[in-house]
């Protein structure tokens, strides 16, 4: 009798899902919801192939975790069957708390992070599966004594990053993001309970860091992607503001609940099961259906933003390495008001200002450790002749309709 369900993944080829608790979790409606959550939000408006989902990503990360366990065991790292199952469950469910369009709407529809929501889902599933997720939750929270297991789930070289960089590069067609994930995994080892990388894998790590930096600025923070995401955020904010004012804002029931209020962590602690049921009913389709409704709303701002998102009429976004000149900002704002013929309160939705930052590598916490041939373990920052960009690159931006002024 075969012990795995075999799937054909476009990135890795054939991958296996072990029968038992892991397969049963994949089959659960909470996990199946991830089929309806895009992995890279609105990136498909720039890279049309980027239509893959959180479901794809979770299964890919599970596949890589199975490979990592096999490699570490081959190097005499003791991982029990229970620990292997626990860390596989942890990586499988690490993103189950993502809402519609992943990170984009994380703080718009509710005031809870996706990491906290993932834990709430794990707690709920743990009860449904008779306590079988206790070890997985302990690893996820970094409460289990073997710290390296948590690092495989959430660290600078975790299986989450290994998969999303590889998968997002594949589906966007941005080849600069391709990483040598298979070599990096084969170079993993454990010393003193910490995950390390053998010295001969250092150039693969350097490539991984470069690829991650490129993917952030070329894909995740691409100016057109950022423009679309900011437009979606302000459109939903406008809908919520109208609801607060007593206006009728038609939306699918799953979304209407969150337009009427943004649950907090305290709300979930108090009423976890009921709120998770509400959240689990919400996905990308509800949000896009709402925008189709709102194209014809009587409110001009909401209708305009919805039409723009449905028909890809995206705002202009200007990046700058320095804060923009206040006089220039005032000029743009006035031009937007003149063009829209609306009162100044509309600027809250038609003129967006902010900043984005990204560092290729963080030395402040849980630095990548390199295992040298002499057995010594050193931080990555002291082990390479590559000048690691640990300082965050910050870009300021403004976003507004494409008008002439």
The answer to whether 58 touches 35, Cβ cutoff 8 Å, is: no
In the chain, what percentage of residues exceed pLDDT 70? 98
Three-state secondary-structure class, residue 255? helix
Q: Are strands 369-371 and 194-198 parallel, antiparallel or unpaired?
A: parallel
Q: Global pTM?
A: 0.95
**Per-residue confidence (pLDDT) for residue 390, from 0 to 100:** 67
**Per-residue confidence (pLDDT) for residue 17, from 0 to 100:** 97
Segment 252-306, tens digit of pLDDT? 999 999 999 889 999 999 999 999 999 999 999 999 999 999 999 999 999 999 9
Listed residue (177, 259, 261, 246) closest to 215, CA to CA: 177
**Per-residue confidence (pLDDT) for residue 388, from 0 to 100:** 66
Q: Residue 389 pLDDT > 70, yes or no?
A: no
**Per-residue confidence (pLDDT) for residue 387, from 0 to 100:** 66
Tokens of 6: 């075999």
Which of the two residues, 178 and 91, has the higher pLDDT score?
91
The answer to whether 188 touches 204, Cβ cutoff 8 Å, is: no
Calculate the average pLDDT of the chain: 95
Average pLDDT over residues 155-164: 96
Q: Which CA distances in Å does 139 have to 5, 76, 146, 161?
A: 25, 20, 8, 17
Q: Which single residue is written with the structure tokens 């570490």?
A: 72
Q: Residue 102 pLDDT > 80, yes or no?
A: yes
What span, in angstroms and rounded, lies between the C-alpha atoms of 243 and 237? Answer: 10
**Per-residue confidence (pLDDT) for residue 97, from 0 to 100:** 96
Segment 174-214, tens digit of pLDDT? 998 889 999 999 999 999 999 999 999 999 999 999 999 99
- Sort 330 into a burial class: Cβ within 10 Å, 0-12 / 13-18 / 19+: exposed
pLDDT band with cut points at 50, 70 and 90 for residue 386: low
Segment 6-39, tens digit of pLDDT? 999 999 999 999 999 999 999 999 999 999 999 9
Q: Of the given ranges (3-7, 38-42, 331-335, 362-366), which has the lowest mean pLDDT?
A: 362-366
What span, in angstroms and rounded, lies between the C-alpha atoms of 149 and 136? Answer: 10
What span, in angstroms and rounded, lies between the C-alpha atoms of 63 and 65? Answer: 5
Tokens of 376: 């010594």
3-state secondary structure 189-206: EEECCEEEEEHHHHHHHH
**Per-residue confidence (pLDDT) for residue 1, from 0 to 100:** 40
What span, in angstroms and rounded, lies between the C-alpha atoms of 156 and 248? Answer: 46
pLDDT band with cut points at 50, 70 and 90 for residue 384: confident
Give one word for 375, left, alpha or beta, with left for phi > 0 and alpha for psi -120 to 50: left
Domains of the chain, first to last: 4-222+360-390 (1.10.3210.10), 223-356 (1.20.1250.30)
What span, in angstroms and rounded, lies between the C-alpha atoms of 303 and 286? Answer: 17
Segment 204-254, tens digit of pLDDT? 999 999 999 999 999 999 999 999 999 999 999 999 999 999 999 999 999
């Amino acid at each position: 009798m075969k012990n795995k369900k075999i799937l054909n993944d476009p990135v890795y080829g054939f991958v296996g899902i072990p029968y038992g608790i892991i397969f049963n979790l994949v089959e659960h409606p909470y996990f199946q919801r991830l089929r309806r959550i895009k992995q890279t939000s609105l990136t498909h408006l720039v890279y049309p192939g980027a239509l893959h989902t959180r479901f794809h990503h979770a299964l890919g990360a599970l596949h890589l975790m199975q490979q990592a366990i096999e490699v570490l065991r081959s190097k005499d790292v003791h991982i029990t069957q229970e620990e292997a199952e626990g860390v596989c469950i942890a990586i499988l469910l690490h993103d189950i708390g993502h809402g519609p369009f992943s990170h984009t709407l994380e703080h718009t529809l509710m005031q809870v992070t996706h990491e906290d929501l993932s834990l709430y889902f794990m707690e709920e599933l743990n009860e449904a599966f008779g306590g079988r997720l206790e070890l997985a939750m302990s690893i996820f929270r970094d409460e289990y004594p073997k710290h390296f297991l948590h690092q495989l789930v959430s660290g600078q070289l975790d299986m989450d990053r290994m998969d999303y960089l590889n998968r997002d590069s594949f589906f966007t067609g941005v080849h600069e993001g391709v990483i040598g994930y298979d070599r990096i995994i084969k170079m993993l080892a454990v010393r003193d309970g910490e995950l390390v990388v053998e010295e001969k894998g250092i150039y693969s790590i350097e490539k991984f860091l470069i690829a991650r930096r490129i993917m952030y600025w070329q894909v995740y923070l691409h100016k057109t992607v950022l423009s679309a995401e900011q437009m979606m955020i302000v459109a939903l904010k406008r809908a919520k503001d109208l609801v607060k004012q007593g206006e009728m804002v038609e939306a699918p029931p799953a979304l209407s609940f969150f337009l009427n209020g943004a649950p907090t962590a305290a709300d979930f602690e108090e009423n976890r099961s009921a709120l998770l049921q509400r959240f689990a009913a919400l996905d990308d389709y509800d949000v896009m259906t709402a925008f189709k409704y709102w194209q014809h709303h009587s409110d001009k701002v909401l209708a305009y933003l919805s039409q723009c998102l449905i028909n890809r009429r995206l705002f202009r976004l200007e990046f700058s390495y320095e804060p923009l000149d206040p006089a220039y900002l005032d000029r743009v704002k006035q031009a937007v008001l003149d063009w829209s013929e609306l009162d100044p309160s509309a600027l809250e939705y038609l003129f967006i200002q902010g900043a984005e930052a990204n560092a290729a590598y963080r030395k402040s916490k849980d630095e990548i450790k390199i295992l040298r041939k002499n057995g010594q373990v050193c931080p990555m920052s002291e082990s390479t002749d590559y000048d690691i960009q640990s300082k965050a690159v910050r870009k300021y931006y403004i976003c507004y309709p494409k008008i002439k002024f």
